[in-house]
Structure 1
Amino acid sequence: MYKLRMFNMKWQLLNYFLISSVITVSGIYIVLEYYEKELSSWEFRLWFAFAILVVSLSVGFIATRRWQRKVDELHVAMLELSKGNFSVRIDMEPVEPFLYLYDAFNSMATSIEERVQLMQKLGEAEAIRDQELTESAVMEERRRLARDLHDTVSQELFAIHMSASSLPKILERNPAAAPALMNQLIEMSHHAQKQMRGLISQLRPIELKDMSLQEALEKWFPEYCRTHELQGQLDVSLPEIISEAIEHQFFLIIQEGLANVIKHASAKQVRLAIYEREHQYVLQLQDDGQGFERRDIPSASHGLSTMRERAQKLGGEVEIDSKLGSGTRVRVRIPRFSGHSGGKQE
């Protein structure tokens, strides 16, 4: 089929050359046969050559104009396709020298249109799914904050209210017991304030933005520890620039881990270390808190499951070591591929 189309195109070109040649030869024959005497005049020869040239150019102009129109039609269709008009098609005649080009273009345009439609449908479905996931995550976060408020601040405030309500009666019946109750109220209010600061810091977490992970931690970690009355030790040793994805997930894991320390550990000291090994990036968060038994922590614990999910996104894993009275150590390992640092792009 391709050879037949090429054959058709070549023969159309040869037809134009044949017509031009026939006209030229016929003109020469007529002049030689009937105007032999006039050939001795240079003016006649000049006019004859000019006539032959005009006829040849006329035939060439007719041929090139027709073919130029076909090329322009293809060019315009390609421009429309490049501008996003994926429905553009070229009408083809039964006998068409550009038939194979037009057919190939129409097939390509149809394929592109179908793929773009499919991509659009997939994009819409993904957008809807992401919206549903975002809404679900927001609702889950609201439920988690509601639980945290109920389990911490709300109970503390209720206890403060009950103690404050009983204070007038104690002052009336047993004034000597009032100072102890006042100290208890001060301690409970301080603890409630500490819990509230922790929840607010979770609602307003710092973002990396244009900072590296080390720069963000040097700014945020000491302030976070002071806010929650912790003695913090930071040790970040990353000779190479790591990818933004790893930095982002590490930072979110650190925030989640420290929130768990504040909420559950009753710790006084916390140590955060990030370093490289030959094939791994390692993040280690260790506290001197009360620790826990693994069987006492539900497998679906929100904080631990979130950290695991973030590590697994990067092909990593989370290891948790804890004993009652001996604190907790969280170690996150992310694969490191040699020869590829995945640094930030400028």
Structure 2
Amino acid sequence: MIVQRILKNTKWELLLYFLLTGSLTAVALYVGSIFGAVHVIDPRVWIYIIAGILVFILIIGYIAGQRIQRRLDYLHLNMLQVAKGNLAVRMPDTADQTFSGVYQEFNNMTEAVEKKMKLLQQFGEREVVEKEQAAEKAVLEERRRLARDLHDTVSQQLFAIHMAASSLPKVLEMNEAQAQTVLDQLIQMSNMAQKQMRALIAQLRPMELVGKTLAEALDQWFPDYCRQNGLRGMKDMDLQGDLSEAKEHQLFLIVQEAMANIVKHSGAKLVSLSLREGPRQVVLSISDDGQGFSNGAQKQGSYGLTTMKERAEKLGGNVEIISKPGAGTTIRVHIPKFEEE
């Protein structure tokens, strides 16, 4: 088992080859001395010769293995950076012919991925903008529908309440029992009007980003949402202000979806929101101190998590979910940025 683990590491595998080579060299010298090809006067000298050969070979093998492993580790680190959404990573030129081809292929691959992601992001932003335009038309139609509903329901209920209330004094003078019936009808109609009004109000959704930047909207919305839901919120934002409208819109919706999941399922008391914009990517992180969940188990709120991933993927980004039962949850979103041509 130990040998198998060693062989899985390039550095130790190379060191093992050097050690094997040194051992074969020592054996060859010893066999040569037996057949007279090598003359050693004192047999005890063989101990020092073999030990010296093995130590020398181990030192050379370790240095060679370390150099190769360092380059492989650097390549692996840059691959992880690309996987996190930092598509600006490039491998430097090297005189080593063994790695120069690999580094060049990595750079070509990353450049191709960056171009495709940029194109994907442009399509995603265009789709978001087109959906927003369609949504504006839908809002106007919805307002007309709400106006009709208000006229057909609440407005008529209020008119009926007014008529009944106006006739109540006269009915009370003429027939007290009949007045009680009218009063009961008033209570019933007012309750019905109240329910209908609440139902119509519940259909309205405020447009938090209208006329505001993402930072301004979160400055207002995040503390209010935490206060209304009994959460203690911490916010850290570093935005340069050059995000496109589509990116701001999708990031704001992801924040809303994540906070709704926290309120519904986590049982958290503390929420931390971090939003940082770098030259080549935007990183959003939302952490809570709730109950968490196991990644392998069926999770509550999985629909919300899927929605967040879809929103990020529309812009060429990705969502990383880190959670453990009893240790809270962290949602980290990486959205790449591309230089304008």
Question: TM above 0.5, one fold?
Answer: no
Name the TM-score class by shorter chain.
Answer: 0.3 to 0.5
Higher relative contact order (CA 8 A, sep 6+): 2
TM-score by length of 1: 0.39
Larger radius of gyration: 1
TM value normalised by structure 2: 0.40
